[in-house]
Amino acid sequence: MILEKKVTPKDINYIVAFYNGERRHFEGSRWKIFIKAHINYLKKHQPTIGLVSFVINESFTKHDIDLIEYIEKQNLKFKYEVIIRENQGFSYGGFNQVMLKNHKDYRFSFVVEDDYVATAEFKWEMFLDKFTYYNNGKGNTAYICCLHQHNHAAICNGLISNERIGVEIELLGKSIGDKYTKGGFDNQIGFMAGFSRRKYQIDDITDVAYTIFMDGKKSFINYGDTTKPLIMIPI
């Protein structure tokens, strides 16, 4: 994809997926900490974003309703939508559903999980420059994530070209597995796999920035060039 027209935040659909059920790192829900972090970031750094999609994967707990009511009470100035859905495909299924719905209205989708948030050093150009750099006139870039390794987006937070979605139709199939750890891992492997099979470029920002990841033991790992800006952090 050659970016002939300058991309602005208005061209981007920011999609954040929430889940209030059992989590690997947490006992109980931390929905209020997560939503506050995202709203504060968006208000301060992305007030002109095209659309924010708050996706709630049903946990069948009272926290789902609490989260919806909290969002509605914030008097947000940016354009947003709240989508409640069956937890098919976990975060990845939520991203998939929203992109298929909105891809004709926005040039890019920025997907992010609820327990990550961007820092003040985050810049859209860190992702957008990759689309032009790797294309070389061939127009084959589909997805720039925070960490791409072992042929999948290991840290999925990143920018996706919506121009590809109408062509490929299905980015992700049905959920695999019925447990958080199993289903989440298998859907992570499968996310955007259709693009890879069609030889579209999927890459990351580890040469221009870095991200902090919290593993299953709650240890923090840096991925990327730590001499460059830190752009995404776990909440």
Q: Give per-residue pLDDT as tens, 9-22.
A: 999 999 999 998 87
What single-letter DSSP state applies at residue 50?
S
pLDDT above 70 for 59: yes
With CA atoms as reference, report the closest residue to 106 among 2, 9, 13.
Answer: 13
With CA atoms as reference, report the closest residue to 184 among 148, 222, 227, 152.
Answer: 152
Question: Alpha-carbon distance 2 to 152, whole Å?
Answer: 23
Is residue 72 within a helix (H) or strand (E), and if so which, with residue range? helix 62-72
Q: Cα dihedral sign for 131, 13, 184, 28?
A: positive
pLDDT above 80 for 4: no
Percent of the chain with pLDDT over 70: 77
Q: Report whether 48 contacts 75 (CB < 8 A).
A: no
Q: Of how many residues is the chain composed?
A: 235
6-10, 85-89, 203-207: range with lowest mean pLDDT:
85-89
Q: Give per-residue pLDDT as tens, 94-145.
A: 898 899 899 999 999 999 999 999 999 999 999 999 887 665 555 678 889 9
Map residue 95 onto helix, strand or coil: helix
Q: Report whether 207 contacts 224 (CB < 8 A).
A: yes
Using H for helix, E for strand and C for coil, what is the string for 180-233?
HHHHHHHHHHHCCHHHHHCCCEEEECCCCCEEEEECCCCCEEEEECCCCCEEEE
Q: Report whether 235 contacts 16 (CB < 8 A).
A: no
What is the pTM for the complete model shown?
0.88
Domain covering 9-234 assigned CATH 3.40.50.1360 in the classification? no
Question: Alpha-carbon distance 145 to 58, whole Å?
Answer: 25
Is residue 40 within a helix (H) or strand (E), and if so which, with residue range? helix 31-45
Q: Cα dihedral sign for 137, 202, 47, 98?
A: positive
What single-letter amino acid sits at 1? M
Please indicate whether residue 149 or residue 177 has the higher confidence score (pLDDT).
Answer: 149
What single-letter amino acid sits at 80? Y
Please indicate whether residue 196 or residue 11 has the higher confidence score (pLDDT).
Answer: 11
